[in-house]
């Protein structure tokens, strides 16, 4: 397989995401929060919407729509990966981080109808929306793709 190492990374990231989410599902009540330090809390939430809870109140149609979008994005990223040269390492890492995050949240949507969020960052009264490892992988993937180095001409 052309991208075996990257698919192994994908598998590890998705398993890590799902493992951490299972910890919160099995150990916390929805809305329960534990303060770790002045900047971080573990807060178990069930996000029925998209990023920042957009479309959270849309009901069954919204859930089906978000699930379909997650599947479509995952397929598009896989197709994009297979059009990428194996020498474009930063781009491939970015694509696989993006794919890992998309699939991690897709599993939640398919299994529960919502995405499990638990990372609660805050400072001086400002609270960032609660997120999860899959969201972090999507962010890391986007950063890697935005700031990838130019491929030298051969």
Q: In terms of Cα–Cα distance, which of 79, 89, 82, 81 is closest to 151?
A: 89
Tracing tokens 């529960």 back to the chain, one arrives at 112
**Structural domain contains residue 32:** no
DSSP annotation of 104: H
Is 135 designated active site? yes
**Structural domain contains residue 92:** yes
> Per mean pLDDT, which range of 52-56, 92-96, 147-151 is the poorest?
52-56
| pLDDT band at residue 2 under the 50/70/90 scheme | confident
**Structural domain contains residue 67:** yes
Q: Is the distance from CB of 151 to CB of 88 less than 8 angstroms?
A: yes
- Of the residues 17, 108, 120, 135, only one is catalytic, namely 135
Q: Is the dihedral of CA 43, 47, 51, 55 positive or negative?
A: negative
- Average of per-residue pLDDT values in the chain: 89
- Of the residues 17, 108, 117, 120, only one is catalytic, namely 117
| Cβ-based neighbours of 113, under 8 Å, separated by 6 or more | 48, 63
Give percent of the chain above pLDDT 90.
75
- Which structural domain range is residue 79 located in? 4-23+44-125+135-146
Q: Is the distance from CB of 58 to CB of 109 less than 8 angstroms?
A: no
Paired tokens of 147: 């700031």
Q: How many domains would you assign to the chain? A: 1
pLDDT single digits (tens) 124-142: 889 899 999 999 999 999 9
Give the number of other CB atoms < 10 A from CB of residue 149. 9
State residue 50's pLDDT score: 61
**Structural domain contains residue 153:** no
Q: Is the distance from CB of 23 to CB of 11 less than 8 angstroms?
A: no
Is 57 designated active site? no
């Amino acid at each position: 397989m052309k991208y075996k190492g990257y698919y192994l990374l994908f598998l590890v990231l998705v398993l890590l995401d799902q493992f951490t989410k299972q910890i919160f599902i099995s150990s916390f009540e929805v809305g329960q929060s534990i303060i770790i330090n002045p900047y971080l809390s573990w807060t178990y939430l069930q996000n029925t919407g998209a990023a920042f809870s957009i479309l959270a109140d849309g009901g069954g149609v919204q859930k089906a729509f978000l699930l379909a979008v997650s599947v479509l994005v995952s397929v598009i990223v896989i197709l994009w990966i297979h059009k990428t040269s194996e020498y474009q390492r930063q781009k491939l890492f970015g694509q696989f981080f993006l794919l890992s995050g998309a699939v991690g949240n897709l599993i939640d949507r398919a299994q529960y109808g919502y995405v499990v969020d638990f990372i609660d960052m805050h400072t001086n009264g400002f609270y960032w929306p609660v997120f999860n490892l899959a969201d972090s992988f999507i962010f890391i993937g986007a950063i890697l793709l935005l700031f990838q180095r130019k491929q030298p001409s051969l």
